[in-house]
Homo-oligomer: A and B are copies of this chain.
Amino acid sequence: MIKILSDSPGISFGLGYFCERFGAAKSTVSEDLSIAKKTLQENGLGRIITIPGAGGGVKYVPCITAAQASEVQNTLCEMLRDPSRIMGGGFLYTSDIMFSPGMTEKMASIFAEKFRDSGADYVATIETKGIPLAFMTARLLNIPVIVVRRETKVSEGPTVSINYFSGSSGRISKMSMAKKAVEPKTKAIIIDDFMRAGGSLKGITELLAEFEVEVCGIGVAIAAEENNETKVSDYTPLVYLRSVDEASQMIDAIPNSRIF
């Protein structure tokens, strides 16, 4: 039962499902669920929640402790400090981290914990490098992903586009979203891999507003340290990238100590 529940985080199962699946009586399933609940909780592996009533059932909710989160943040900082990541123009190569199933899953579990009660109906991101992180977060929250595109594709059907100022490329860029992608009057969190001045995040927020989707949280894996030019105010980075010094090959990355 633990396996089935934890494979589908956030999805509610009726007791009857387990009775049928294992050919067991309701009382046996109930009893085993109590044991499962206790085991997971005692070992910091997540929670099993019972929803009472006719439409009720049980569901698994992953959780991460402050100590586990801080371990993930420290690992990320250590990975970022590797001087071979330094590319021209002070950019860091991070594709290996953002496309690693293990690391993105761990980072996503922090965002899932942070935004569990945000009321989000979607996780929004912009292509490309933030997609796995957004996707794993959405998986833990059991909600779909919206990927904002940089170019319009014919297979997306009618789209809405906006122009925004991208700090990393230093020019005006375009982003677009399919009209079919969301329902109006909903909420979304935005998850992305990197934030410099917040131009893309501000752009995504404005684009979502065109669809009557309210942004109820922003999480980024890596953020350049805060400054007055930051275009969004309320966001949660896992780590701050304070400086990348090409001459001395020094990368200064520190964990964000105020995530929760």
Contacts and interface: CB of A to CB of B under 8 A. Distances in A.
Given A94-B155, A157-B93, A135 B87 contact: no
Query: Which 5 A-B pairs rank lowest in CB-CB distance, beginning with the nearest?
Result: A101-B139, A91-B155, A87-B157, A99-B145, A127-B128
Interface string A146-183: 11010000111100000000001000000000101100
Contact of A7 (B6, B8, B91, B147): B6
A131 interface: yes
A75 to B, nearest CB: 15
Contacts of A11: 102
Given A87-B157, A99-B146, A101-B135, 14 more contacts: A3-B6, A3-B45, A3-B46, A6-B6, A6-B7, A11-B102, A95-B178, A95-B181, A99-B135, A101-B145, A104-B135, A105-B139, A127-B127, A132-B135
A142 interface: yes
A15 interface: no
A149 to B, nearest CB: 7
A21 interface: yes
Contacts of A91: 154-155, 157
A95 B6 contact: no
Residue among A105, A127, A138, A168 having the largest count of chain B Cβ atoms under 10 Å = A127
Contacts of A8: 102
Q: Count copies of this chain in the complex.
A: 2
A36 to B, nearest CB: 9
Given A2-B3, A93-B180, A154-B87, A145 B127 contact: no
Contacts of A40: 3
A94 B91 CA distance: 34
A117 interface: no
A152 to B, nearest CB: 12
Interface string A103-117: 011000000000000
Nearest to A101: B139
Contacts of A142: 101-102
Residue among A92, A96, A178 having the largest count of chain B Cβ atoms under 10 Å = A96
A4 interface: yes
Interface string A57-85: 00000000000000000000000000000
Interface string A125-142: 001110110010011001
B99 A128 contact: no
